[in-house]
A and B are shown apart, each in its own frame.
Chain A
Amino acid sequence: SQTIHQWPATLVQPVGSPLSLECTVEGTSNPNLYWYRQAAGRGLQLLFYSVGIGQISSEVPQNLSASRPQDRQFILSSKKLLLSDSGFYLCAWSVRREGGYTFGSGTRLTVV
C-alpha cells in the first residue's frame, strides 16, 4: 500500500534561518507531488507541485523553493525564513491526472 511520510511534525525556527522540509512517498511510482501551506483557520494554499524528477511548478511568488531530487522525494526549502513563513505545511501525492490527493500529516512551522 502507498504511504506518505512528512517530517518533522513541528519546527520552531528563528527569522533568517534556513529551512528544509522533506516528504517521501512509498509504494507508488511517478506520483505527482504537492506542497501546500495553511495559515491558522484558513484554507489550503498550493505552493508547488511536481509531475516528475526535477520538474517544479511554482504557484505563488514567495520566499520558498522546492526540489524533487528523486521520484518519490519532495523537498521544501528556504534560505532565510520570514515571520510570514509560519504555518502548517502539507505534502500530498496523487496519481497523474487521476483521483484525489493523499496528504501527509503536516509540519507545523513557527518562525520566531
Chain B
Amino acid sequence: GESVGLHLPTLSVQEGDNSIINCAYSNSASDYFIWYKQESGKGPQFIIDIRSNMDKRQGQRVTVLLNKTVKHLSLQIAATQPGDSAVYFCADRFQGAQKLVFGQGTRLTINP
C-alpha cells in the first residue's frame, strides 16, 4: 500500500556504478508494473514498465526485473550519472483496476 507520510528512503551511489532500487508490492493479482522518476519540483516521468507475463525488460541504461513469487520489483540503472539523481517511484495495478498503487519512493543521490 501507499506510505505517503513517511520520509523517503535514500540510496547513495558512486557516479559510474550501477544502481538497484527495490520495491515490494502486496497484491498477487497485480498484472502491470511501472517505474517513475521525479526530479525536484517536477512531475513524475515514465521510465519503464513491465507486464506480469514478463520477468525482465530493458530500456536505455535501465532494466526492470519482476519476481512474482516474492512480489518484488527492481529497477537497475547502469553507469549511474549525476542526472539520475531523483526520487524513483514504483507502482502496480491489479487486473481490472482503474488506478495504480504507488510505493513510497526512493531518493537516489549520486556521489562524484
Q: Which residue numbers of A lie inside 8 Å of B, CB to CB?
A: 6, 32, 34, 38-39, 41-46, 49, 51, 88, 90, 92, 94, 96-97, 99-106, 108
| Distance of A108 Cα from B98 Cα, bound (Å) | 26
- The docked-state distance in angstroms from the alpha carbon of A42 to that of B2 is 11
> Can you report 10 A-B residue pairs in the complex whose CB atoms are below 8 A from each other?
A39-B4, A43-B104, A44-B44, A44-B89, A51-B98, A99-B32, A100-B36, A100-B91, A103-B36, A104-B43
Most buried by A among B46, B49, B99: B99
Q: A100-B34, A103-B43, A103-B44 are in contact. Are A44 and B98 (CB under 8 A)?
A: no
| Interface SS, B side | loop
> What's the Cα separation between A99 and B91 when bound, in Å?
11
Q: How many residues of B contact A (CB 8 A)?
A: 29
Bound state CA distance, A43 and B38, in angstroms? 11
Q: A interface, by DSSP: helix, strand, loop or mixed? A: strand
User: Residue B61 at the A interface, CB < 8 A?
Assistant: no
> By the criterion CB–CB under 8 Å, are A43 and B102 in contact?
yes
Expressed in whole angstroms, the Cα–Cα distance for A42 and B87 within the complex equals 10
Q: Are A46 and B98 in contact (CB-based, < 8 A)?
A: no
Task: Please report the C-alpha to C-alpha distance between residue A6 and residue B91 in the assembled complex, in whole angstroms.
Answer: 22
Please give me the 6 A-B residue pairs with the lowest Cβ-Cβ distance, nearest first: A103-B43, A45-B4, A100-B34, A43-B4, A43-B104, A44-B102
